[in-house]
Amino acid sequence: MNHLAPSLNPIRPDAPEEIPVIDLTATMAGTPGALAQASAALRHALENVGFYFITGHGVNQALVDGAFEAAQRFHAQPLDEKLKLRINQHNIGYLPIRGSVTRHSKINPNNKPNVNEAFFAKRDLPPDHPDVLANLPFRGMNQWPDNLPGFREAVVAYSTAMEQLALRLLPLYATALDLPADFFAKPFDPPMFTLRMSHYPQQDSTDENEFGLAPHSDTSFMTLLAQNKVPGLSIRLPNGKWVDAPALEGSFLVNGGDMLRRWTNERFLATPHRVVNRSGQERYAIPFFFDCAYTTTMQCLPTCTSPTNPPRYDPITYPDYMVWYRNLNYGSQQPETPKGRDGVQLSAG
């Protein structure tokens, strides 16, 4: 597609497999009519697939490369160094290999611990921030390694770029849901987000219940995943077919999570996915999970309910939902699970 003369048709005809590719060039340029066209493409993707690629997004590839390099540098450290930053009650820090079990999906209920390690970072709050001083859940300070010069800067720069991109996508979501384009401006002021920097070693086991990351759907409103050339991610389409996600160079793979599904009364999908690394290479991933503001109460959107389609979920805030998820996947107890109309357990990424 010629980016010098952007087309108003945002869907590429060479979309890999069943995952749509939406070109945002015209939308980002403010071309008249482009928002409506891209929103229609997004609506189709999230009602029928749950995943889509975006191109023409304007994110500098150097920031993406820098984030992948930072992930590799972090995980190359000795285990003792990484364990100094062990994940805390705010879901910030280092999660060791096999440190979590995906318990929230009925697709594969007998999962073994996940064969990946990860470093989690959120907004880089200062020690005197009121939320830090109040010790609010998921509003703690990031944990940073002492011996990796430039690591913090790379993580913050990438997170900032992803936050800005996600905010620019919000008018597409609002328009796709037949709402005013600025509908989500206040509910996402400011947004919550989490960057997960994952390392998937080569898996030699053929145990069908062992995964790099077991089948699950994300908690997020949206997840943005930068592309790498090492395969391993598979997506379960609504028809039950698993497809390997191709690596579309220079794009982001975007998906909806359970918060989006809940907020839209299940109009938009939270599609399950999994990771298995049998590539013979080390695999790294840097998914960015984007959510509403901390104090926003998510309740059924007005365009997603009717007298014959009542709200399926009670209103909920970000911290309440994330406390449930943290306890479910990282705690020893398994609290009562919020369920949708189909009884499928909700989940997270």
**Residue for token pair 């911290």:** 319
pLDDT of 99 reads: 75
pLDDT of 184 reads: 98
pLDDT of 128 reads: 98
**Residue for token pair 């069908």:** 208
Domains and CATH numbers, the chain: 21-330 (2.60.120.330)
Element containing residue 94 per DSSP (H, E): strand 93-95
Q: Which two tokens stand for residue 217?
A: 């759907």
**163: phi then psi, degrees, rounded to nearest 5:** -60, -45
In a 13 Å sphere around the CA of 83, the CA atoms on its Cβ side amount to 6
Rounded to a whole number, what is the largest CA-CA distance in the chain?
59
What 8-state DSSP symbol labels residue 336? P
**pLDDT tens, residue by residue, 132-143:** 999 999 999 999
Q: What is the DSSP string of 216-257?
A: E--SSSEEEEE--SS--EEEE-TTS-EEEPP--TT-EEEEE-
pLDDT of 193 reads: 98
Helices (H) and strands (E) in the chain, counts: 8, 15
pLDDT of 13 reads: 47
Residues 90, 135 contacting (CB under 8 angstroms): no
| Count of Cβ atoms closer than 10 Å to residue 271 Cβ | 21
**pLDDT tens, residue by residue, 163-187:** 999 999 999 999 999 999 999 999 9
Q: In whole angstroms, give the CA distance from residue 99 to residue 87.
A: 10
pLDDT of 104 reads: 55
Q: In whole angstroms, give the CA distance from residue 314 to residue 258.
A: 14
Could you tell me which residues come within 8 angstroms of residue 332 by beta carbon, excluding any fewer than 6 positions away?
none
Could you tell me which residues come within 8 angstroms of residue 247 by beta carbon, excluding any fewer than 6 positions away?
227, 228, 229, 231
Could you tell me which residues come within 8 angstroms of residue 71 by beta carbon, excluding any fewer than 6 positions away?
119, 197, 198, 199, 284, 285, 286
The SS3 call for residue 333 is coil
Paired with 94 in beta bridges are: 86, 119
pLDDT by residue for the chain (349 residues), tens only, comes to 333 333 455 655 455 558 999 999 999 999 999 999 999 999 999 999 999 999 999 999 999 999 999 999 999 999 999 999 999 999 999 999 977 776 655 666 666 888 899 999 999 999 999 999 999 999 999 999 999 999 999 999 999 999 999 999 999 999 999 999 999 999 999 999 999 999 999 988 777 778 888 889 999 999 999 998 899 999 999 999 999 999 999 999 999 999 999 999 999 999 999 999 999 999 999 999 999 999 999 999 999 999 999 999 999 999 998 887 767 655 433 333 333 333 222 333 3
Cis peptide bond prior to 190, omega within 30° of 0: yes
pLDDT of 338 reads: 38
